[in-house]
Amino acid sequence: MMRDKLIQLALDARENAYIPYSHYAVGAALLTEDGEIYCGCNVESASYGATNCAERTAIFKAVSEGKRKFRAIAVAGGMEGEEPKDYAYPCGICRQVIKEFASEDFRIIVAKSLTDYKEYSLSELLPFGFGGESIK
Ligand code: THU
């Protein structure tokens, strides 16, 4: 099933996280409207504010390859070398970036494992969000 695949890829993507400062590894797997999957990890910087979250890494990879509409994202995070202990919810900046490119029925899956996950709509995680339609 597609959800299982996204969760497994998000768990796998944690392996590539560049996390010398927080040691907190996040992986994301993003499903495009045309059925492709782009993965991402968090990439930290010694100038902490320059850090990029796993979700935005996946989204920016996809957008830079010409994809503009997404159906779902799975996210998994936990301390380096450990299985996730908690659900890793997308940060506020990532929720805003998700809004930019999300389909109507976009799903956000936060997973500790293949069998332990929660699933949300974007409006559950970003109610009353600000989007492009507001400035047309
Ligand atoms: N992080 C993500 O990758 N995604 C989120 O939604 C929240 C935070 C990363 C950024 C940083 O590398 C580490 O987690 C600790 O904040």
Give per-residue pLDDT as tens, 78-128. 999 999 999 999 999 999 999 999 999 999 999 999 999 999 999 999 999
> Distance, CA 136 to ligand 1 centroid (Å)?
32
91 lines ligand 1 (CB under 6 A): yes
Can you state the percent helix, strand and coil of the chain, rounding each to 5? 35, 30, 35
Q: Could you count the other beta carbons within 10 Å of the beta carbon of residue 76?
A: 29
Outline where the chain has alpha helix (H): 2-13, 54-64, 92-101, 122-125
25 lines ligand 1 (CB under 6 A): no
Q: Atom 9 of ligand 1 has which residue's CA nearest to it?
A: 53
Which residues are tagged catalytic?
Answer: 55
Q: Atom 1 of ligand 1 has which residue's CA nearest to it?
A: 53
pTM check: above 0.85: yes
pLDDT digits (tens, 9 = 90+) for 4-39: 999 999 999 999 999 999 999 999 999 999 999 999
Which 3 state secondary structure label does DSSP give 39?
strand
39 lines ligand 1 (CB under 6 A): no
- For 2, phi then psi, to 5°, come to -60, -35
